[in-house]
Amino acid sequence: MHRRSLLGAALLAAPGRARGQQPQGQGSGFATRPVRIIVPAVAAGGSDTTTRIVAPRMAAALGQPIVVDNRPGGSGNLANELLAQAPADGHALQMGTIGNLVVNPLIQRNLPILPLRDFSTISLSVQVTNLLVVPVDRPWRSVADLVAAAKAKPGSLSYGSSGVGSAGHLAGALLDQVAGIESVHIPYRGGGQLIADILSGKVDFSFATAATTLEHVQSGKLRALAVPTAERSALVPWVPTMAETGVPGYAVLNWYALVGPKGLPASVLQEINTALHAALRDPETVQKLAQQGIEPLPSTPEACAAFMAAETAKWAAVVKAARIGEG
């Protein structure tokens, strides 16, 4: 696939915050106690769902339970700080997103943690199917219709995302730039309220995950105009790409990556990489991910770092042109 060609804190959670513990397996590697995977988002979001699906198979490979620790504060910066404070022994990891691993340093000055500098990249994890959706009572039947409406009344259309710097925010900003339109971004703290406001017509469109939108598309409450990727999605093969419906050259990939504290020993890093890859090859795990519009995207640690660097360069230009945050 074209997208794949791009690749080539100690246990700090307060009592009651950790969830998702899995049964202990039979591994005999570095792990001597439960492994915590920090998620920079609320429960039931895409990165949380991904982590909870891959956790059982990873736990079996590592021989210890995996605890999922949701830390959504500061647009993912809290999760970054917790990971940076953790010993580099493999017992604290993070399922990071494009937002907190790539975009935050582009839109916030003087951050103490810079993921490419301060984390060990372990592997890309998955890519997530997003859909460009509009309320069913809107007249637009294609992206070309949406663009025409936005051009007719600049600044009149709004789009929602799960937060500043999220994949949905970037997708909307890129659409503005590529299509030559001006729309208003409305950030939310998560997908729940965003979807509620799209359904009620409070926002005009959104690039939201299939996991949160597909049932509403299938029930006729939302209309899917396109997928923002370069290729159609196997989950919704009837939905065209942005290029096919009026915006050539447009592509946004929503991805997650597994990272650890800086200085993970090579043997530990490799063991975690192997455990994640085993989970992403497991048929039951793959099926559960597919049901959520999530596709495995494993990589080497080196390819993960190179991909994050390329994404940083790509989105730096978009952030600057859109004047997002402090960028």
pLDDT at residue 27, rounded to an integer: 58
Domain count, the chain: 2
What DSSP letter does each residue of 22-71 carry, written as one string?
-------SS-SSPEEEEESS-TTSHHHHHHHHHHHHHHHHHTS-EEEEE-
The residue from 182, 214, 245 where one domain ends is: 245
Residues 231 and 300 in one domain: no
Q: What is the pLDDT of residues 31-74, one digit of tens each?
A: 999 999 999 988 888 899 999 999 999 999 999 999 999 998 88
d(CA 89, CA 269): 9
For residues 304-314, average pLDDT:
97
What band does 25 get if pLDDT is binned at 50, 70 and 90?
very low
Residues 29 and 169 in one domain: no
Q: Determine the 3-state secondary structure of 256 from DSSP.
A: strand
Provide the edge-to-edge strand list for the sheet that holds 158-161.
Answer: 184-187, 158-161, 205-209, 130-135, 222-226
pLDDT at residue 193, rounded to an integer: 87
Q: What is the pLDDT of residues 233-277, one digit of tens each?
A: 999 999 999 999 989 989 999 999 999 999 999 999 999 999 999
pLDDT at residue 90, rounded to an integer: 98
The enclosing domain of 222 has a CATH number of 3.40.190.10
3-state SS, 242-254, equals CHHHCCCCCCCCE
What band does 104 get if pLDDT is binned at 50, 70 and 90?
very high
Classify residue 54 as left (phi > 0), alpha (psi -120 to 50) or beta: alpha
31 found inside a domain = yes
Please, what is the Cα angle at 126 between 314 and 278, to 5 degrees?
140
Q: Which residue range forms the structural domain that includes residue 239? A: 130-245
327 found inside a domain = no
DSSP label of 265 = -
138 found inside a domain = yes
Q: What is the pLDDT of residues 117-173, one digit of tens each?
A: 999 999 999 999 999 999 999 999 999 999 999 999 999 999 999 888 999 999 999
Provide the token pair at 28: 């005999």
Backbone angles phi, psi at 317, to 5 degrees: -70, -40
pTM (two decimals): 0.87
Average pLDDT, the chain: 90
Q: Report whether pLDDT(5) > 50.
A: no
Residues 78 and 140 in one domain: no
Nearest by Cα to 274 from 126, 120, 123, 161: 123
Percent of the chain past pLDDT 70, that is, above it, reads 91
